[in-house]
């Protein structure tokens, strides 16, 4: 048994050394690029921000497709940006990669007292609740429950995160089934405004209705952003097939009737 343990321990040690070597190689390359490449040399934290957002969405696409090769590739691209920001921070004397790693490690240890302390947390829900409470106690933590939700998040994701954070402090439906009454109520108010209201009021009620649907999704442990993106991809796939089918028929979509397009659409849908 001791021999098996030693073999496993050696394997873990070798794996960690390989990981550290790879990370050190990346840091060395970043140093070279920052010194020798004109494009890399001129970048700032502000100029990198749009590219970082784009890389994040590319990673999200790869995850949605469960494309493990591209997930690894896009993780690398995102890691490059983290190292890049840390390199710029070291040049200005504000922070470096060791600060980034140590601040993260300190936060993880502090916010996991059920792992590194004597706090009990038997469920994922209890972990989240403890996490939010600890965040508000931190010296530089969020002053309010919702202040930790970035303003720049896409609206659909932001709605989900705000509702989830409110839930962590007990502001939630007692029974998830009750949310459907709220969805129906918001839909009714939206239809009333669409019939008689101003555009401003119509948009406000549409927002309330969408917010209530996001809330329902959360209560049923469904991610509305993922669900909507799956529908986007499905629509894109089917509409592209519709275009191709029309071309095969020597037709242009703009000249076809809705009934003709619907017939092809149903045919495409039935084959999936």
- DSSP state letters, the chain: -HHHHHHHHHHHHHHHHHHHHHHHHHHHHHHHHHHH-HHHHH--HHHHHHHHHHHHHHHHHHHHTT-HHHHHHHHHHHHHHHHHHHHHHHHHTS--HHHHHHHHHHHHHHT-HHHHSS----SHHHHHHHHHHHHHHSTTS-SSTTTTS-TTS-HHHHHHHHHHHHHHTT-S-SSGGGHHHHHHHHHHHHHHHHHH--HHHHHHHHHHHHHHHHHHHHHTT--HHHHHHHHHHHHHHHHHHHHHHHHHTT--GGGS-HHHHHHHHHHHHHH-
Token pair belonging to 219: 């209560």
Q: State CA 244 to chain mean position distance.
A: 33
Q: What is the per-residue pLDDT across 22-32, written as a single tens digit (0 to 9) for each?
A: 999 999 999 99
CATH number, span 2-94: 1.10.287.1080
Q: What is the per-residue pLDDT across 186-209, written as a single tens digit (0 to 9) for each?
A: 999 999 999 999 999 999 999 999
User: Residue 156 above 60 pLDDT?
Assistant: yes
- DSSP state letters, 124-186: HHHHHHHHHHHHHHSTTS-SSTTTTS-TTS-HHHHHHHHHHHHHHTT-S-SSGGGHHHHHHHH
Q: What is the mean pLDDT of residues 142-160?
A: 86
Q: What is the mean pLDDT of residues 57-85?
A: 95
Token pair belonging to 126: 């209890």
pLDDT at position 94 is: 97
pLDDT at position 2 is: 54
Q: What is the mean pLDDT of residues 94-107?
A: 96
Residue with tokens 């010194």: 35
pLDDT at position 106 is: 93
C-alpha neighbours within 13 Å on the C-beta side of residue 138 = 19
pLDDT at position 180 is: 97
Minimal CA–CA distance to 54: which of 78, 73, 76? 78
pLDDT at position 201 is: 96
pLDDT at position 139 is: 58
User: Residue 78 above 90 pLDDT?
Assistant: yes
User: Residue 3 above 60 pLDDT?
Assistant: no
pLDDT at position 141 is: 60
Phi, psi dihedral angles at 147 (to 5 degrees) = -70, -15
Percent of the chain with pLDDT over 70: 95
d(CA 3, CA 164) in angstroms, rounded, equals 47
User: Residue 4 above 90 pLDDT?
Assistant: no
Q: What is the mean pLDDT of residues 137-148?
A: 72
Residue 158's contacts (CB-CB under 8 Å, 6 or more residues apart) are 149, 150
- pLDDT bin (cut points 50, 70, 90) of residue 5 is low
User: Residue 173 above 80 pLDDT?
Assistant: yes
User: Residue 47 above 80 pLDDT?
Assistant: yes
Lowest mean pLDDT among 4-18, 157-171, 209-223, 256-270: 4-18
pLDDT at position 10 is: 76
- pLDDT bin (cut points 50, 70, 90) of residue 144 is confident
Please classify residue 136 by burial: count the beta carbons closer than 10 Å to its beta carbon, then call 0-12 exposed, 13-18 middle and 19+ buried: middle
Average pLDDT, the chain: 91
């Amino acid at each position: 048994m001791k021999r098996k343990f030693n073999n496993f321990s050696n394997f873990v040690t070798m794996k960690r050394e390989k990981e550290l070597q790879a990370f050190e190689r990346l840091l060395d390359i970043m140093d070279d690029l920052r010194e020798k490449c004109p494009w890399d040399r001129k970048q700032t934290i502000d100029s990198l921000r749009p590219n970082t957002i784009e890389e994040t969405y590319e990673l999200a696409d790869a995850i949605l497709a469960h494309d493990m090769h591209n997930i690894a590739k896009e993780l690398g691209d995102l890691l490059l940006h983290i190292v890049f920001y840390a390199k710029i921070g070291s040049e200005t004397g504000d922070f470096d990669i060791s600060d980034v790693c140590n601040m993260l490690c300190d936060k993880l240890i502090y916010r996991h007292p059920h792992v590194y302390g004597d706090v009990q947390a038997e469920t994922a829900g209890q972990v989240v609740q403890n996490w939010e409470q600890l965040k508000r106690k931190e010296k530089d933590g969020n002053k309010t429950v919702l202040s930790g939700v970035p303003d720049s998040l896409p609206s659909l994701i932001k709605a989900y995160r705000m509702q989830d954070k409110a839930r962590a402090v007990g502001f939630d439906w007692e029974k998830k089934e009750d949310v459907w009454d709220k969805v129906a109520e918001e839909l009714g108010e939206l239809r009333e405004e669409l019939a008689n209201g101003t555009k401003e009021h119509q948009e406000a009620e549409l927002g309330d209705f969408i917010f209530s649907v996001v809330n329902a999704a959360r209560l049923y442990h469904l991610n509305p952003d993922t669900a909507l993106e799956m529908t986007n991809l499905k629509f894109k796939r089917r509409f592209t097939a519709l275009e191709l089918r029309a071309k095969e028929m020597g037709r242009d979509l703009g000249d076809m009737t809705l009934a003709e397009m619907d017939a092809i659409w149903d045919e495409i849908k039935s084959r999936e």
